[in-house]
Every structure is written in structure tokens, then in C-alpha cells.
Structure 1
Amino acid sequence: MTRRTIVAGVGMIPFTTPSRTEPYTVMAPASVREALRDAGIDYTAVQQAYVGYVYGDSTSGQAALYDVGLTAIPIVNVNNNCSTGSSALWLARQAIESGAADCVLALGFEQMQRGALGSKWPDRPSPFERFDEATRALQGWDDIAPMAAQYFGGAGRQYAETYGTQPETFARISVKARAHAKNNPYAVFRDEVTLDGVLGSPAVYGPLTRLQCCPPTCGAAAAVLVSEEFARRHGLRVEVAIKAQAMTTDGPTTFSGDMIKVVGYDMAKAAADRVYEDSGVAPEDIRVVELHDCFTANELITYEGLGLTPAGTAEKFILDGDNTYGGRVVTNPSGGLLSKGHPLGATGLAQCAELVWQLRGHAQARQVEGVTVALQHNIGLGGAAVVTLYEKVS
């Protein structure tokens, strides 16, 4: 028997551009204090902490928490590329469910630099060597276009060639993202954009234009997880629980000659399928999703990977408005990575915060009505996919 994991508190700070950021030692404690305040507990109650970041020196997690408290608890640093925040959440949930701890902090932060993502260690083998080899074999290599845009833009181009998807369809995802973000005070980019504006922004790779690529931003987010027994014993809220969660990594199909699989489609599908099986919840039951829209192409193919719409129907799903308010499932009510930006370590926990607010009914103008379960998808190439299903506790 596993113990129910309650999300007792969440907190985040407004994301910013690299030129306006504060140090991670300021951002991270601010988000933790918000999560603790939300949970109604003191940091001294926290027994373990899992801290996610990608671009930073070893033990930056400890430095991020020293100003919150010097309590001598275990602090574990986590780096799983773009799914780092959700990987920290996954570890924290395991600690609760196993009985190893009753109150655990998951924290994610990133102090990003401007420009496209790239390797920081060119003097040793890259973890993307197999990905680059597969990409070169499938579509060649562009020495100018950013690496990640080539991966995901190539996947979008393959999807479009297979199903006849129009460039405008990909662009509509950015328009939708900004329309949602206008109601999110934590998002960096809250001005709405037009379809012509998205299509007219500079071309990047494949169907992608600049406004279809998430920008590097800085930020922090945190969640306090507790056992249900701990919550009731201390009079904490028990409104939201993690109903099911799965993490997967690459298998042989990732490198089997298909750009859609290179960018993690099979990882995401496997994690989602496991969550649906473990929870007894079907894709048709989902009304709100925070998914990893690092590029519009990834959001489009992920609709199908998560089972929100059958294979080959993502364009109809978008054109029918089934991915937004008034449709079947509201995707990225926060505005997603396309609007909040993508501080790698913080993204997964920012998604968590948004869905907890949705389930509590605290999302204000972003609120999706009648939410009882909420799905989160966070993926990092190299690779790890984390899918988490939250439920409203009656």
C-alpha cells in the first residue's frame, strides 16, 4: 500500500528575462517562502528537499535554501534537462509514498543566460550525440539554426508532411498561448499576438518562427508535499493530491528513424499511458493540461501523445478550438512555456503550481470550470518525460 501524497502548498515568483533577473539565491528562497506560507507550515517541518536546476555549480541547491533555514536536512540536487523540476517533484513524491518522509520540499529554479540552449562542456562527449546522429541521418544539419529548434522543428515538419498540416495551424498555438497568458501575472509575455504576426516573425527551422519558440527566462517555483496523515495531524489543507505519476526515459524507438520519436513522443506516451492505467482516469476525463510547449510543434504532437485526440487529428483539434476555453480540454491556461518562458529547473514546478490553483478554484480569470483532475506533462531531451495526474480531494 502506498500513502496518498498531498500537495499542501505551492509558490512561484513572476518569471523574468535574463537581463532583469535577480540571483538564484534570491529567486529560489522567495518561491519557497510562498510555498511554505501557502501550506501553513514552517521550514523546520520539512524533512527532505529535492532541488532542480540545470545551469549552475554543484550544491547550488544548498545555497538556494540556506537563507530559508539551516536545518541540516538532506538536500538533493537534481538535473534532468528540461524536465528537471518535475524530476524533483517525482523524487519528493516517492519519498512521501514510500514512508521515508512525511514532509518534503520540491524546488526548481534557473538563472538563465540569453540565447539558445547549448552545451557547456565541449571538451567531453555530449549527451546529445545519439540525437545529433539520428537528426543528421534524417534531415541533415543546419550550422546556423539552434539545436533544439532543429529537433522540434524537424518533428513538426515530419508531422506536417505526414498529415498535410498547414503552417497556420502551428502558429495558432502561439496565438492561443498569449491569449491565455494575458491573465497570468507570472508570465513574461502577456501581450496578445495575431496569426499574421506569428507567421511573419523570423523563420527559425521547419514550420517554426521565432514566436513559436519559447525564450530563455529566469525564475523559481516550489511545492510542499506531505502525507495525508501529516496533513490531517497538523490541520493542513488536503484539497489536492497526486493521484498518479510516471517517469520514463528513452528506449530503442527514440533513435529508430523518426524525428517525432527523437523528440520524445514515445517517452511521453508511455508515461501518460502508465498514469492512465494506474489512476483509472481516461484522457476523455481530462479538462485541463499543462504540457511542455517548448515549441508549437511539440504542443501539437503532444496532444496525440497524451491521448487528448487520436493520431493524425491534432489539426482538427486546434481548428475546432478544443485546446482552449469553451473546448474539450484547456491546454496551458498559464500561457505555457511560449508565454512564461522556460527557466529549465523551474518549469515543472510552475506547471504544478498552476494546476494546484486550478483544482482549488484559485486561478481567477484563468479558471477552468468543473476541474476535478488535472494533467501535467514535462519533458527533457536526453531524456526524461514526467507525467503527473493531480486530483481534487473530496
Structure 2
Amino acid sequence: MERRTQMALLHRLFELIDSGGTQLNDACWQQSTEAYISAARLAWEREYLFSRYPLLVTHGSHVAAPGDYVTDDLGFVPLLLTRDGEGRLHAFANLCRHRGARLASGCGRDARAFVCPFHGWCYDLGGHLRNLVPRDGFAGLHRYGYGLVRLPVVERHGLVWVLPKAGAHIDETRLFADLDAELAAYGFSGFSHFETKVLHARTNWKLVIDGFLESWHFNVLHRQSIAPIFLSGVGLADRFGPHVRVVYPRRSVLQLRAQPESEWDLLKHSVVLYVLFPNTLVNWQGDHLEIWRVFPNKNGAPGECVAEASLYTPEPARTDSAREHWRRNMELLIRTVVEEDLAVAEDMQRGYEARVQTTMTFGRHEPALAFYHAQLGDESFTQKAESDRVDWSGRMRTPTS
């Protein structure tokens, strides 16, 4: 984040702290619980959000050198990312063109080719078919027309996005909206991977993201874990195209008042959270980076999801003390989310599925939730929802006193 942005945000935060308030939306937001329990809604999300939007797949350090490759199965299209001998990054559907068998698994380095485990068809790092087996069994089939299905891929700011739709194009200007320079300033491309955890939860995928979008619950739900670290209820939310940025100040931010402004540093005294639409959280945690990717469960149940949490550090953890430090950070993160946030979210999901309460309310003091769900209520789905007499996107309602 550039310094001028940090200073502007700090001044806004201190104005809120001095007034004893927080950022307020114009009105409350009434959210339909059907958005979390409807199979029709989930089918639309799969078709629209998870097929037509670029999705963040990984940090660039996992495919940094020629011969590196990464597979990903959290989304609805199995992915294979490769770095060829010229350093070019490629994304493919992880399917052999012969019979559709899975071509590669996990991740690795120094790969030169991928051989299908079913019949032995062989592909190079650029996705070109190099060997047909048996050769005389495919008379008239030219291998140059049978490369892997190529998908659009963009690598920027140390992060890799893939659009899981063959023949499509990623509009980078639209992808980053006005966040391009801000994300570049962090220098995430030089960060190192420490650990990744995959969590399965019996809740809709959007409820996982919702849990990050307000801090008023810190002093209640997290009073024994992270509440002592943060100024509960104080936060800033801003929209950047489809994306949302949220800033939660740590209590230590108050120390800046005793320092000249030239020494102010927002990043040391806050969590800066980016919701990169539709399903990714990129969280700056004061001295390290966390990336959350959240997907619906592929079995089609609206009340199940999978979340991947990854921790990246500015420098590799080369010593025992460094590894122990980051291990504790990861442990606190996972324990807080699993034992506190997800436990409540699963209870909420069961309540929605009972269908005794058809709406819930995001208060004026929870603007990031309204920003995010307004974007989820895309016009194409809203029109379909209206034709089905269901309001998926939520509606603004003037708050009552």
C-alpha cells in the first residue's frame, strides 16, 4: 500500500476513534437467507461466479522457475499450472485429451513433461501433445491439434489468476479495478510460503467470507483470542470495482498519536483485508500475508464448503525460532476461525435451513457486508430471481429507530 493511501486511511481512522463511532452505511441491508440455502442459487453461482470470473489460484512462488507446476482442485474445473523452459506461465484443464484422465497431481519442480497415467499420452510444459500411444491407433489425428485445453491466466503482484473458461480473455484493467498500484506496493512477489491448511465446513461458502467483513463480533465471539489485539467495532470499508478493502486497526495504532506523522505506519498497526471478488481474501496481518480461497463443495450441497488458508512471510523461515513464530501465528489463525467463526457459521446455516427466518440484517455499521453482497447480486441473477419471485441480492431498507 502506498504511503499516501496509508496516511489518508489513518486520518479517517483517528476521526472515527475521536468521535467514538465507526463508518456507517446509508441504510441497513436486508439479506435473504435463501442466498445461503438455495440449490438454484448455488447452481447460478457455479455457472456465473465460478466460471466467468478470474479466480485467484496460487502465489507465484509455487510456479516460479522453469519446470515448476501446480495442480488445483478446489474449483469446478481441475487446473494445471506450469512454467515452461522460457519462463512463460500456462494454465490448462488438468485432463488428458484422449479420455479425460487426470494428468498430474499435487505440485512439483523440474518437470519436463506430463505422461497420462491411463494410456501414456505425453504433453510438454506448454501443453503440446508430444506422444500418441499407440501411434497407429489414431490414424488421421494430428497431435498438434490435441494439446491440453488452455485457460486464460494472469500473473501479477506475486499472485496468479485463472479464468476457468476456455477461449475467454482476462481483462486486467477490470480485474484489478483501482487496486493495481496499491497491491503492487506490498511486494508480495518476494514473499515465501510457510504453510497451507484446507478446512471443510458445513456452511455456505459466503458465510465464511462474511465472518471477515465486520469486527463488531470481536469482543463477544473472540474475547479470549484476538479481541485484546484490536479496537473492536472500528473499521473502514471501501469499494474498488467488484472488490472491497477493509481496515481493522490494532490497539497499538493509538501509539502513533505520540509520533510525528512522518513516522506513521498503518501496515504495522492494522489488518488490511481485500475481498478479491468473488471468493478470495488477501489479508495483510501487520507483518505477513494470509490468503483465503473459499469454494462451494462440489457435491452441490449449498450448506457445505471448503476453505484454503495459506500463510506467506516476507523472508523464508530458516531458523527454529522463525518457524516457531510463524507456526504460532498459523495456529492462532486456524484455531480462531475453526473453533469460533466456523462453529457459529455452522449454527447459522442450520438456522437458515430451518426456513423459519427468511431474512437477516446487516446494520449500517457493517458496510463491507452490504458492499460485498450488493456485488454478489449481479443483474443477470437478480433478473432471474425476480422471475422466480425470489430476491437473492438483498434490498436496502431505511433503519428504524
Which category describes the TM-score, using the shorter chain as reference length?
under 0.3
TM-score norm. by structure 1 comes to: 0.25
Higher share in helix: 1
User: Highest Rg: 1 or 2?
Assistant: 2
TM-score norm. by structure 2 comes to: 0.25
Higher share in strand: 2
Greater relative contact order (CA < 8 Å, ≥ 6 in sequence): 1
